[in-house]
Structure 1
Amino acid sequence: MLFPAHLTEPHGHPHVMAYYFKQWQGFHMPFHRHDAIEIMYTIQGVCDIEVQTEPAQTQSVRLKKGEFIVIDANVSHRLMVDEALPCRMLNVEFRLMEQKGVFPSIQQLASEDKFLASLMEVQTPFLVLRDPDEVYHIMKSLVLELDKAATKSETMVQLLFAQLLIRIARLRQEAMAGGLAQSEWYVKQSMDYLHQNYDRDIQVKDIAGAVNLHPGYLQRIFKTVTGQTLMGYLTVIRMEKAKMLLLETDVPISEISDYIGVGSRQYFHLLFKDYTSLTPTEFRNSMNKQHMDYPQES
């Protein structure tokens, strides 16, 4: 079991024991075990992991770029790297330990997140998952924070670790559901790109370049999976952001087009009215009136 119950009750918090980036080449590690859970992430190349699941049974796992393995504490394992296929990894080893403080324990976080709760109950000595780059960025942020020594924030460490475990839990859920078909994976990557870059001038070729697909092919699979065009989906993102800015901020209407990546103010007004049936001014005024008309607590 990856997270034994006695480690998660009642106040188990992650405590990092070791972490490091390492380039491996022509290396054969002896079997070893330790009392910490280990995450081994392949940044580049190919890494072979052998795990002893039973006294006389060994399973081999080949990790390619963007894949990682979570190995339970006290499970014997070793790393094997071929001379001709070097491998760069990021490793984090941690225990769940009782810790006083205001940050929620892993058990408390799991009570609020069903996927994390499910991960806590995994009955397996190891778990292998493919990452669309999210786990790596969280791990990298975590180890950079841990390296800050005198300025390190324990709250930031706990926040990043909670984010890491929840992200792993969600990836596991996707894998259990059969995983994403290749086309669906490209669509998800395209959506992520649009959500991160909607404030810029984006063309289909930019999205296709970000996911390494031909623009025409990406447009076809995106429409098949979502029922929308890439530019149609981008417009929805932009209009929803505009609604939020109009409702929740004092950003002048004349500047909102720049915030959402629509260079022309006139074009933004046309898009917004087509999307909401109101002009930006009418939308902001109507929302302000609703707030004023809402009954106030006495």
Structure 2
Amino acid sequence: MGHSLYDPALMAGAFHPKVIVYYFKQWEDFQMPFHSHAEIEIMYVISGQCVVETETQLISMKKGDFIVLDANTMHRLIVAKPHQCRMINVEFQFTDEGQLFPSLKELVNHDPTLFQLFAKNAPYFVLKDSNEVYHTLKNLVLELDKNSVEAQMMIHLLFAQLMIQIARLAGEAGEAGHQQADVYVKRAIAYLHHHYDCDIRMKDIASVVCIHPGYLHRIFKASMGCTVMDYLTTLRLEKAKMLLTQTNIPVMDISYSVGINSSQYFSAVFKKHTGQTPIEYRKSFKIRRDRTELESRRVTTAVRARSTKG
């Protein structure tokens, strides 16, 4: 018998996750018999759609959905014609074998979202991913495939990251009403901060957040006081200011670095928001910095002179 995800013993000892089974699989016209196992299982839909049936519910899943099944939970997978379903599955247990890495208890004690996850006590839960969980799962499987001592550190780090990401998604999913809208806004903002240097359109952001573009526009403006594209422009300009003042990168290259593929448009937008062109902004910053440094040197010299006289 493996430990349940909610077994109090996990919080009393030094337990660490141990992956037992993992695989990518393309399913087509398939009905799995009802079964259970001692491992906790994560079933993630990469593409297509399927149904996971438990003893009490039929759960429809599509791309980006994943289910976490607690140990010894009866379930089966159904992929009906004409659909196909590509999945990544990871089954794991917790072991108290000696490890140099932080234990599950230590992670839970330092992360409130993990604490809430391990207090959930449900036979399964289904979540919608924004690609973060998938990338971590994929990287985890790649490290597991190496089957080497050197890969163990990365495996443990990735598993800790995976649990925290799942816990955060579970916490977000538990919110309701305007809180759910805030979740969508946070996901949109996170996407913008990770992809501001790309050619981003509203439909791209909405697709990642998994809501209609019009709805995203409304809740984003209500929450942030500006449109999504206004936020993106401000973000890009802040990144540009940093590059202008902290590097010697040419203005044209900075334009491309922040996702604006026209240096002329970049200069026009920059001046509209700052009152200066990028070149003027860089020069004025350099003048202010040089003056500050000069004044600092004068003060230091004066202090040393007074100290010498004394």
User: Which interval holds the TM-score relative to the shorter structure?
Assistant: 0.7 to 0.9
> Cα 1:95–1:257, aligned 2, differ >3 Å: closer, same or farther?
same
Distance 1:97 1:160 in 2: 17
Secondary structure at 1:110 match in 2: helix
**Other-structure match for 1:191:** 189
How far apart are 1:243 and its partner, in Å?
5.4
What is the TM-score of this pair, normalised by structure 1? 0.77
Question: Which of these residues, 125, 132, 153, is aligned with residue 130 of structure 2?
Answer: 132
Q: Report whether the alignment pairs 1:156 with 2:159.
A: no
Please say which of residues 106-115 and 147-156 is displaced more in the overlay: 147-156
How far has the Cα of 1:6 moved from its partner?
1.6
Aligned pair partner of 1:38 in 38, 41, 45: 41
* Rg (Cα) greater in structure: 2
User: CA separation of 1:78/1:180 partners in 2, compared to 1, >3 Å: closer, same or farther?
Assistant: farther
Task: Give the TM-score normalised by structure 2.
Answer: 0.74
State the distance in 1 between where 2:174 and 2:237 align: 34
Alignment of 1:103-182 (within 5 A): 103-150=101-148, 153-178=151-176
Alignment length (residue pairs): 281
* Structure 2 SS opposite 1:48: strand
Offset, 1:86: 2.8
Give the CA deviation at 1:94.
0.7
In the aligned structure 2, how far is the partner of 1:244 from the partner of 1:121?
Answer: 43
| Contact kept? 1:253, 1:281, Cα under 8 Å | no
Deviation at 1:267, TM superposition (A): 4.4
Deviations 1:110-139 (A, max 9, x none): 222110111122211111112222211211
Matches within 5 A, 1:57-76: 58-76=56-74
* Counterpart-to-counterpart distance in 1, 2:184 and 2:108: 30
Q: What residue ranges of structure 2 are gaps of 5+ in the alignment?
A: 297-310
**2:51 aligned residue:** 48
Q: Deviations over 1:70-90 (max 9, x none)?
A: 111122222222233332221
Q: Distance in 2 between matches of 1:209 and 1:280?
A: 33
**d(CA) in 2 for partners of 1:19, 1:179:** 36
Q: Distance in 1 between matches of 2:75 and 2:26?
A: 18
Amino acid aligned to 2:271: L
Structure 2 Cα separation of the partners of residues 108 and 6 of structure 1? 13
Task: Give 1:30 shift.
Answer: 2.1
| C-alpha RMSD over aligned residues | 3.6
Give the one of 193, 196, 208 matched to 2:203: 208
Instruction: In structure 2, give the amino acid aligned to 1:95.
Output: Q
Q: Percent identity?
A: 44
Q: Which residue of 1 aligns with 2:16?
A: 13
Q: Sort the Cα spacing of 1:81 and 1:110 in 2 relative to 1 into closer, same or farther, 3 A.
A: same
Counterparts of 1:12 and 1:224, CA distance in 2: 44
**Deviation, structure 1 residue 258:** 4.3
* C-alpha separation in 1, matches of 2:166 and 2:275: 40
In structure 2, what is the Cα distance between the partners aligned to 1:140 and 1:23? 15
**1:83 corresponds to:** 81
